[in-house]
Amino acid sequence: MRRIVLDTETTGLDPALGHRVIEIGAVEMVDRRPTGRTYHVYLNPEREVDPGAQAVHGLSNEFLADKPRFAEQVDAFLAFVDAAELIIHNAPFDLGFLNAELGRLERGVLSACTQGVVDTLKMARQLHPGQKNNLDALCRRYGVDNSGREYHGALLDSELLAEVWLAMTRGQETLAIDPVIMAPQAFKLTGVSDIKLRVIEPDPSELEAHENYLKALSKESKKELPAW
């Protein structure tokens, strides 16, 4: 199966407010193995980057000024993700921005040319409820080296997410783990009826000592105790 691990960086948090995609990074995997093929592009968003967003990814207006527009890269991007399953951390965020970019060009939505989306944030919340599940936290949890991640970067984050996803799904293809149902006879112990247990009877002196102990206890508590 062909999968594309994908990430974006943007000018801000909400495409409905006119924020744009400024970086796309994607890594190809086939049958759970990275192929070495990647897609990476910086984009001129035709608007300014919010200072808060720049603090996260480090991409400035000056750096992006001479980069291509999304319209110039859309065909190459769609060709790379075509007919693949997408793996995205916090998928609604990236899909919202990419679909907004496609909508401006009247190119439909991303789901029209792909084979579904796996949201690794949703998976992580199911696997690790109540814990931090951002990419840095998952890298630490699964032993993925993210020491080179000074800023968020679409291609680097896609490469890290590919390793995290492989670790999260090792031994299974989905989170739907079928319960193992064993036949009743699988729990039946064999040979128990053949075991002869040795019964040790108390001798008269032990019975007498026990009886005296009960009498003393009854006297001390001022209650008559049963003769066990």
Indicate whether 89 and 60 sit together in one domain: yes
Give the pLDDT confidence score for residue 172 in this predicted structure: 53
Asked if residue 185 has pLDDT above 70, the reply is no
Pairing between β-strand 21-30 and β-strand 2-10 as defined by DSSP bridges: antiparallel
226 located within any domain: no
177 located within any domain: no
Give the pLDDT confidence score for residue 197 in this predicted structure: 55
> Which of the given ranges, 56-65, 145-154, 218-227, has the highest pLDDT on average?
56-65
The per-residue pLDDT for range 122-156, each reduced to its tens digit, is 999 999 999 999 999 999 999 999 998 888 999 99
Of the listed 40, 89, 152, 210, which one is catalytic?
152
The per-residue pLDDT for range 89-103, each reduced to its tens digit, is 999 999 999 999 999
Rounded to whole angstroms, the Cα distance separating 42 from 21 reads 9
175 located within any domain: no
Query: Residue 134's domain is classified under what CATH number?
Result: 3.30.420.10
> How many domains is the chain partitioned into structurally?
2
Annotated active-site residue 19? The verdict is no
Tell the residue number behind the tokens 């075991």, with chain if given: 195
Indicate whether 48 and 123 sit together in one domain: yes
Last residue of a domain, one of 139, 168, 197: 168
Asked if residue 224 has pLDDT above 60, the reply is no
Predicted TM-score (pTM) of the model is: 0.74
227 located within any domain: no
Q: What is the dihedral of CA 172, 145, 152, 175, to 10 degrees?
A: 10
